[in-house]
Amino acid sequence: MQFNTYVYMLLFLPVTILGYFVINKFSYFFAKIYLAAISIFFYAYAGLPGFQWLVISIVFNYLIVMLMKRMHSKLILWMGIVFNIVLLFYFKYTNFAILTVNDLLHKNIPLTKMVLPIGISFFTFQQIAYIVDSYRGKLEEHSFLDYINYVAFFPKILMGPLVSPSALIAQFHDESKRNFSSQNMVDGIQMFIIGLFKKVILADTFAKAVAWAWSVGDFKQITSMDVFLVMLAYTFQIYFDFSGYSDMAIASAKMLNIELPINFDSPYKAYSIRDFWKRWHISLTKFLTEYIYFPLGGSKKGEVRTYLNTMIVFLISGIWHGANWTFILWGILHGVFSIFDRLVEKFRKNIHPVLQWLATFFTINVLWLLFRANSIGEWKHALSQMLRFQSTAISDGLLNVFVVPETKIITKVFRLYFFEGNIRGFWMLIFYLIGFILCLGFENAYRRKYKQNIVTAFFYAILFVFTLTCIGSESVFVYFNF
């Protein structure tokens, strides 16, 4: 089940909220059972074939934690970590390894047929965090029910945000969170609508522009300006898609009085790659820092070790994102640019902030193009076509993807016939302007102060109805398969 579906917004979420607070009036224990059951149903709704692996993973990891509580052994800790890593690698990288061996050794080893458990990258990292924190003595002994709710809590299980075990489980036991909160409900509804708008209106429209370029089949068949605009479209698509999901996840939890951590903090305002990673997918950055970078020594063992540790973290980040050499190179290049930022940090202060931002934003765009490419060769061809800049023409096919049904409604309501008829690519221009304005000119949805008044309620009601009517076929989130 995905957040941008009618069944989630109009049935699942309202029933979940109502049932949770009603049951809480009588028994908090049964409310936790209800929350666990509804979370398991939410996950299983997406498909049962990979569901058993979530169950196996939860049971095995909880047994590891219980064993570790009785026998504080590093061997048991590593048994748990290795199990999680092997499970993750088996499902995500077995066929990638087979394809690599076939290419290098000219073999014809058949690929394995398997169903990738949805959200395996996220629930695996969450459980590694739990067993490591248990070993470090940061966690009390929790019931199996608490553990299920920590791992399977429906707003975060598919695509995060990753959350500290102690921070989440403590909220399940906080008596002050068991009663309905009108403020949290209003905040949650407004934040959810913002996330839905990002996904349905912006991300899905930019996704059509990206899909158009790949449908052509060869970047040589489109102009240099086309490639540049498509690269920028994917930069907006992945941000509005994933930040929109995170907004909806955090908002869904907030309606239940549960606080999930911020995952995005205006990342395209960054002035360096290091600054970008403090703002983009914050929960993943914190996980990699706390559970990999610091245990490796962080920046306390000299410059060489600092750079090595940085490269290891970004290599793992690339591998975690997907089974393709494009993701691995993407991670490596982010590591290289992060090290470069450290090296030139003193000199960068003398460079005008606008130039710093432009250099950072362009670098991010180029690396997102690699992230989207099907192969490194395809990325190189796209870059070559763009950097030659032989033509500034924009193809009609690219312009047309931005003329969607909702734009026709807006044209009629606001009488925009003159602009639409006299400005070629008017709606493409509008979408790109909205993208830049929202990314650079507004506070992140997580940090916004939401108001309770008639005008605000009316605005969000109109926005929700408009966005709801614009939902076509179900569109999958970019990170859904990670």
Residue 308 · residue 295 · CB < 8 Å: no
Which distant-in-sequence residues (6+ apart) come within 8 Å of 359 by Cβ?
none
- Tally the residues of the chain: 482
Distance (Å, whole) CA 277 – CA 94: 29
For 208, the token pair is 């059509």
Q: Which tens digits make up the pLDDT trace of 37-64?
A: 999 999 998 766 788 999 999 999 999 9
Say what the pTM is: 0.95
Q: What is the pLDDT of residue 292?
A: 96
Q: What is the pLDDT of residue 76?
A: 95
Distance (Å, whole) CA 417 – CA 413: 10
What H or E segment, with its residue span, contains residue 286?
A: helix 282-288
What values do phi and psi take at 475, rounded to 5? Answer: -110, 135
Average pLDDT of the segment spanning 450-463: 89
Tokens 């969450």 belong to residue: 126
DSSP 296: T
Which distant-in-sequence residues (6+ apart) come within 8 Å of 224 by Cβ?
385, 386, 387, 388, 389, 390, 391, 392
Evaluated on CA atoms 371, 375, 376, 381, the torsion sign reads negative
Q: What is the pLDDT of residue 470?
A: 85
Of residues 268 and 118, more confidently modeled: 268
Distance (Å, whole) CA 204 – CA 426: 18
Q: Which tens digits make up the pLDDT trace of 142-190?
A: 899 999 999 999 999 999 899 999 999 999 999 899 999 999 999 999 9
DSSP 445: G
pLDDT over threshold 90, residue 447? no
Q: What is the pLDDT of residue 5?
A: 92
Q: What is the pLDDT of residue 448?
A: 79
Q: How confident is the model at residue 377 (pLDDT cuts 50, 70, 90)?
A: very high
Residue 255 · residue 187 · CB < 8 Å: no
How does 433-454 read in b/e, with b if 16+ C-beta sit within 10 Å? eebeebbeeeebbbeeebeeee
Q: How confident is the model at residue 281 (pLDDT cuts 50, 70, 90)?
A: very high
Burial group, residue 303, by CB count within 10 angstroms (0-12, 13-18, 19+): exposed
Residue 95 · residue 111 · CB < 8 Å: yes
Q: Which tens digits make up the pLDDT trace of 336-346?
A: 999 999 999 88
Q: What is the pLDDT of residue 378?
A: 96
Distance (Å, whole) CA 338 – CA 241: 25
Q: How confident is the model at residue 443 (pLDDT cuts 50, 70, 90)?
A: confident
Which among 370, 365, 361 is positioned nearest to 330, based on CA atoms?
Answer: 370
Which among 354, 359, 349, 350 is positioned nearest to 273, based on CA atoms?
Answer: 359
Q: Which tens digits make up the pLDDT trace of 413-427?
A: 777 877 777 889 899
Residue 35 · residue 20 · CB < 8 Å: yes
Distance (Å, whole) CA 472 – CA 30: 38
Distance (Å, whole) CA 378 – CA 386: 12
Q: How confident is the model at residue 390 (pLDDT cuts 50, 70, 90)?
A: confident
Which distant-in-sequence residues (6+ apart) come within 8 Å of 269 by Cβ?
279, 357, 439, 440
> Three-state DSSP class for 400?
helix
Q: How many Cβ atoms sit within 10 Å of the Cβ of residue 388? A: 10
Residue 79 · residue 64 · CB < 8 Å: yes
Residue 57 · residue 84 · CB < 8 Å: yes
Which distant-in-sequence residues (6+ apart) come within 8 Å of 48 by Cβ?
none
Q: Which tens digits make up the pLDDT trace of 353-367?
A: 999 999 999 999 999
pLDDT over threshold 90, residue 290? yes
For 146, the token pair is 């608490």
Which among 301, 421, 289, 274 is positioned nearest to 360, based on CA atoms?
Answer: 274
- The domain locations on the chain are 6-179, 184-264+351-481
Peptide bond preceding 161 in cis form (omega within 30 of 0):
yes
Of residues 155 and 141, more confidently modeled: 155
pLDDT over threshold 80, residue 474? no
Q: What is the pLDDT of residue 464?
A: 94
DSSP 265: S
Q: What is the pLDDT of residue 332?
A: 98
Q: What is the pLDDT of residue 479?
A: 82
Residue 120 · residue 91 · CB < 8 Å: yes
> Three-state DSSP class for 332?
helix
Q: Picking from 43-47, 82-86, 284-288, 418-422, which range would have the lowest pLDDT averaged per residue?
A: 418-422
pLDDT over threshold 70, residue 473? no
Residues serving a catalytic function are 321
Q: Phi-psi region for residue 351, left (φ > 0), alpha (ψ -120 to 50) or beta? A: beta
Average pLDDT of the segment spanning 277-287: 96
Q: What rounded mean pLDDT belongs to the chain?
A: 93
